[in-house]
Homo-oligomer: A and B are copies of this chain.
């Protein structure tokens, strides 16, 4: 389907939160207190983002996550790649060789290369959408002073 997964949404929300925190660590609990999201799943997503090198983690009682790069350096494409894996758009032309030998239509397929062009343009779009642009545009109600509020 032509749709982002919830995992990707969770990841984006978490990253936006981290970007707001400007380098301060933010725990999963903190994120889930700000947005009504399933805590465990968000934790899973953050872990994946950590593996992808998009966030750094610190363990221990006052641990949490921080952005690993500046918000300008993180793109929607990075997040999708980290959380949804391979980006094939069609079943052929996926980077990894697929079991079964791939698509039988391939040798005579008239739509393969046009579709690939579409895919490339789509990914260009995703790569050009930075976390910074997400943070600065939306309605995005401001937090209180960093580290001050968060009543719960």
Contact = CB atoms under 8 A, between A and B. Distances in A.
A113 interface: yes
A129 interface: yes
A51 interface: no
A5 B1 contact: yes
A40 interface: no
A31 B137 CA distance: 48
Please state the number of chain copies in the assembly: 2
B36 A89 contact: no
Contacts of A54: none
Nearest to A112: B138
Interface residues of A, number: 46
Interface string A82-114: 001001111100000000000011001111111
Interface string A105-147: 1001111111100100110011001000111011111000000
Interface of A: 1-6, 9, 12-13, 16, 34-37, 76, 80, 84, 87-91, 104-105, 108-115, 118, 121-122, 125-126, 129, 133-135, 137-141
17 contacts: A1-B1, A2-B89, A3-B87, A3-B90, A9-B90, A9-B91, A13-B109, A35-B105, A35-B108, A36-B105, A108-B141, A109-B138, A114-B133, A114-B134, A114-B138, A118-B125, A122-B125
